[in-house]
Amino acid sequence: DPGLAEAGKQVFVDNCAACHGDDAKGKADMGAPDLADAIWLKARGEDAIMRQVAAPKHGVMPAWAGLLGDTTVKELTIFVHSLGGGT
């Protein structure tokens, strides 16, 4: 749903772009992978992306579930998946 992806885009800009970049291409020096390609290091598919956003098991990314809440994490997940890397 494009509307849900659009809502997630603002969440990304507000919370994720600092590390993953405005274009979601990642910042290796911060340990933030490219989210806009088809090479997923830790999560594949919406469910796996949602789990990684909510309570990461790898890397330096903070857990966002407590900060954003379930609905916002879902919106963010849909946006990240729409970038093309969440096949």
Domain ranges for the chain, please list them: 2-85
Mean pLDDT across the stretch 80-84?
A: 87
Structure tokens at 50: 């949602």
Instruction: Assign a CATH topology to domain 2-85.
Output: Cytochrome Bc1 Complex; Chain D, domain 2 (1.10.760)
* pTM, 2 dp: 0.84
* pLDDT at residue 87 is higher than 60: no
- Residue 18 dihedral angles phi and psi, to the nearest 5°: -60, -35
pLDDT for the residue numbered 85: 57
- Residue 71 dihedral angles phi and psi, to the nearest 5°: -65, -45
% of the chain at pLDDT higher than 70: 91
Length of the chain: 87
Per-residue DSSP letters for 23-74?
TS--BGGGTB--SSSS--SS--SHHHHHHHHHS--STTPPP-HHHH-HHHHH
